[in-house]
Structure 1
C-alpha cells in the first residue's frame, strides 16, 4: 500500500473552474459529459460506454483509498456543471513524482482557457504544495493536438514508449512521454500564464 501523499479532500480552485475530488455521487453527471465518443478516440478505454466508465471510475476511487491515484471532476463555476475529469496517478511519494493524466474536457471547451487553467492548478499544487520533483504527462503518440498542448505548458519531450497499451479494439497504442521538473517549474508556470492571457485577450 502506497503512503497517502495527498490529503483528502483536496479542492483546487481557479478563476473559471474548480477541481473537486471525484465521488460516487458525481457519476451520473460525469457519464453524461463523457458520452461523446469523440473524447475517447485516442484513449485506450472508451468511457462513452457505461461499463468501461463504471469500471474506470470505480477503480479510481479504490486506488485513491490506497494512495495510488487522486481523481478530480472539473466543475465549471459559471454554469455549475461538470465538464470533464482529470487525476493524479503513478504516485510515488518517496521519489516525489507523479503523473497527471486521464484528462478530458467536453468538446465545447476545447481551445479555451479551461485546460490551461486546470494544468496551472494541478502543477501549482504539485510543485508548491507537494514539493514534487517530477511531474509526468503522456499521450497517444499520434495525438498531435494533445502533444502541442503539453509542449505549450513547458512539457519536455522524453521519447515514445512503443506499443505501450492495447486499446479495446486490440490495436496497440504508443505513448509520447513528457515531463516537467521542479527546477523547470517557474518557466513552465510563466508559459501557462502567457497562454491564459493570450486566450482571454482573444475572447474579449
Structure 2
C-alpha cells in the first residue's frame, strides 16, 4: 500500500463549485449526470453505461483506500447539484507527482468558468499544499478541444504515446501527454485566473 499523501477527507471550495470526496451515497445522482452519452465520446471508458459507471466508480473508491487515486464529485454551489467528477490518480508521493484526469462536467456548463475553477482548485492544492514537482494531464490525441483547454491553463505538451489505452469497445487510443511543473505554476495560475475573470465578465 502506498503512503497516504493526500488527506481524507478534503473539500476544495471555490466561488461556484466545491470539490468533495466521492462517496457511495453520490453514485445515484452522479450517474444521472453521467448518463449523457455525448460526455464520453472522447473518453476511454463510456460511463453512460450504468454497469461500467458503477464498476469504475466503485474501483475509484477502492483505489483511494490503496492511495492510488483520489476521486472528487463537483457540486454546484448555487443549486447543490452534482454536475461532474474529477480525480487525482497516478499518485507517486516519493516522486512528488500525480495526474489530474477523469474530468467531466454536464453539457449545461460547457464553455463556462466551471472547468477552469475546478482545475484551479485542484492545481492549487497540488502545488501549494502537496508541494508537487509535477502534475500530469493527458487526453486522446484527436481530442483537440481538450488539448487546447490543457494548453490554455499552462500545460506543456510532451508527446504522443501510441496505443496508450484500450477503450471500452476494444479499440486503442493514442494519448497526448502534458505537464505543469512547480516552477511553472505561478504562470499557469495567472493564465487560469485571467480566463475565469474573462468568462465571468462576459
In structure 1, list runs of 5 or more residues that go unmatched. none
What is the CA distance between 1:171 and its match in structure 2? Answer: 1.5
What is the CA distance between 1:16 and its match in structure 2? Answer: 0.1
Give the equivalent residue in structure 2 for 1:39.
39
For the residue of structure 2 that corresponds to 1:158, the secondary structure is strand
**1:8-66 Cα distance to aligned partner (Å, 9 max, x none):** 00100000000000000000000000000001011111100111001100000000001
What is the CA distance between 1:114 and its match in structure 2? Answer: 0.2
Give the equivalent residue in structure 2 for 1:95.
95
Give the equivalent residue in structure 2 for 1:67.
67
**1:167-203 Cα distance to aligned partner (Å, 9 max, x none):** 121211000000000000000000000100110111x
Give the equivalent residue in structure 2 for 1:167.
167
Following TM superposition, the consecutive aligned residue runs of length 4 or more in structure 1 with deviations greater than 6 angstroms are: none
Give the equivalent residue in structure 1 for 2:105.
105
CA–CA distance in 1 between the matches of 2:19 and 2:200?
A: 20
CA–CA distance in 2 between the matches of 1:172 and 1:68?
A: 24
What is the CA distance between 1:148 and its match in structure 2? Answer: 0.6
What is the CA distance between 1:136 and its match in structure 2? Answer: 0.1
Aligned pairs for 1:1-204 (under 5 A) are 1-202=1-202
What is the CA distance between 1:2 and its match in structure 2? Answer: 0.8
CA–CA distance in 2 between the matches of 1:65 and 1:169?
A: 29
TM-score by length of 1: 0.98
TM-score by length of 2: 0.99
What is the CA distance between 1:166 and its match in structure 2? Answer: 1.2
CA–CA distance in 2 between the matches of 1:169 and 1:6?
A: 33
For the residue of structure 1 that corresponds to 2:88, the secondary structure is strand
For the residue of structure 2 that corresponds to 1:115, the secondary structure is helix
RMSD: 0.5
